[in-house]
Amino acid sequence: MPVKPVDFTGKKLLITGPTSQVGEPIVAHYSRQAEVWALARFSKDEDRNRIEALGAKTIRADLSDRNSLVDCPDDVDYVLNLAVTRTGDFAYDLAANAEGVGNLMAQCRKAKAVVHFSSTAVYQYEGQTPRKETDPLGDNHRYMIPTYSISKIAAETVCRFVAHQMDIPTTIARLSVPYGNNGGWPFFHLLMMKEGIHIGIHPERPNFYNPVHVDDYVEKIPYLFGAATPTVTTTNFGGSRAVSIEEWCTYLGKLTGFDPVFQDSVQAFGSLAIDTTLMHELIGETRVDWHEGMRSMVAALAPDLLK
């Protein structure tokens, strides 16, 4: 049986990374039932205005600078950390991603629970074997995003340390491939197919992932909070079914008439399928069939491309 989901009704929920592909639909959904506070650098006023229009209260801050968190309320009930920085500068990215989650949790130490979004990019590449939460970690994304895997691993470590030191119930969710009517990696592949651009894939085919639709990851947020413990729960978080890049690109081709052209590259991301055993025990299975989800994605973002 899945854990009991948290009820956000009337609660104060702090969300970082609210303008991201993952974050914005979560803000939009939960602002209808909770008092949502959205924290970001908000370098563009139009981003801040858009988030406020969804019903959230905004805080301009940089997680790498603990002094900038002075306007962050210290009485929030729940904290959802979606913030991520990928500048390529190790000093800044480690400060923003790793020290940042520590600064955030220290500021919100009274929270009933924290959910920190990590990534399956923390795993060492091991071919097509689905990754378990206990499997070795590694610098998976070094070639394309130099700081990403290392800063995500560091962030998990800081998150655990603060949770243990301050007795904060916490869940670390290692996210697979998010997608939906708000875009995502599969939609980027479709745009490449439209332009006749080769799609780089690892030669150890097929390249499996667990794409998770926006409707599913929004729905599962309360369960991730329900799974939080002071010892820290670490779980994979993706769609219940593994799907390969080759498979979803071929399907997108059938929908649009654009044929994918794959190009083998040992420097491309290899398979990062996840073992869903613990995830299903904690939060249950996801609902959206990937065919349905990707067709809906194309219909929403590029209806003119559908045959």
- Judgement on whether residues 23 and 104 belong to the same structural domain of the protein: yes
- Judgement on whether residues 201 and 262 belong to the same structural domain of the protein: yes
The per-residue DSSP string of 179-205 comes to: EETTEEHHHHHHHHHHTT--EEE-SSS
Phi-psi region of 88 (alpha: psi -120 to 50; beta: other; left: phi over 0): left
Which residue in 50, 132, 64, 58 sits closest to 100, CA to CA?
A: 64
Give the CATH number, domain containing residue 76: 3.40.50.720
Which residue in 257, 275, 224 sits closest to 78, CA to CA?
A: 224
pLDDT for the residue 284 = 98
- End-to-end CA distance of the chain: give it in Å, rounded: 42
Three-class secondary structure of residue 6 per DSSP: coil
In a domain, residue 7? The reply is no
In a domain, residue 1? The reply is no
pLDDT for the residue 171 = 99
Residues of the chain falling short of pLDDT 50: none
pLDDT for the residue 1 = 87
- Judgement on whether residues 164 and 283 belong to the same structural domain of the protein: no
> pTM for the full model?
0.97
pLDDT for the residue 135 = 98
In a domain, residue 67? The reply is yes
pLDDT for the residue 97 = 98
- Judgement on whether residues 194 and 123 belong to the same structural domain of the protein: no
Give the CATH number, domain containing residue 189: 3.90.25.10
Q: What confidence tens digit (pLDDT) does each residue in 152-211 have?
A: 999 999 999 999 999 999 999 999 999 999 999 999 999 999 999 999 999 999 999 999
- Judgement on whether residues 205 and 257 belong to the same structural domain of the protein: yes
Using CA atoms, how far apart are residues 170 and 164, in angstroms rounded to an integer? 9
Collect all residues with Cβ–Cβ distance below 8 Å to 134 and sequence separation of at least 6: none
Cα three-residue angle 149-100-118, rounded to 5 degrees = 35
pLDDT for the residue 185 = 98
Contact 249, 188 (CB under 8 A): no
In a domain, residue 5? The reply is no
In a domain, residue 122? The reply is yes
Which domain, by its residues, includes 103? 12-178+212-237
Q: How distant is the alpha carbon of residue 283 from its chain centre?
A: 16
- Judgement on whether residues 165 and 265 belong to the same structural domain of the protein: no
- Judgement on whether residues 223 and 93 belong to the same structural domain of the protein: yes
- Judgement on whether residues 149 and 286 belong to the same structural domain of the protein: no
In a domain, residue 248? The reply is yes
In a domain, residue 38? The reply is yes
Calculated CA dihedral for residues 273, 276, 278, 284, nearest 10 degrees: 140
In a domain, residue 126? The reply is yes
Q: What confidence tens digit (pLDDT) does each residue in 203-236 have?
A: 999 999 999 999 999 999 999 999 999 999 999 9
pLDDT for the residue 105 = 98
Query: How many structural domains compose the chain?
Result: 2
Burial of 213 (0-12, 13-18, 19+ CB in 10 A): buried
What is the residue type of 198?
H
Helix axes 23-30, 214-226, angle to 10 degrees: 70
pLDDT for the residue 142 = 87
- Judgement on whether residues 37 and 155 belong to the same structural domain of the protein: yes
- Judgement on whether residues 81 and 148 belong to the same structural domain of the protein: yes
**Residue 170 is inside which H or E element, if any?**
strand 170-175
- Judgement on whether residues 170 and 92 belong to the same structural domain of the protein: yes
**Residue 148 is inside which H or E element, if any?**
helix 148-166
- Judgement on whether residues 204 and 77 belong to the same structural domain of the protein: no
Three-class secondary structure of residue 281 per DSSP: helix
pLDDT for the residue 51 = 98
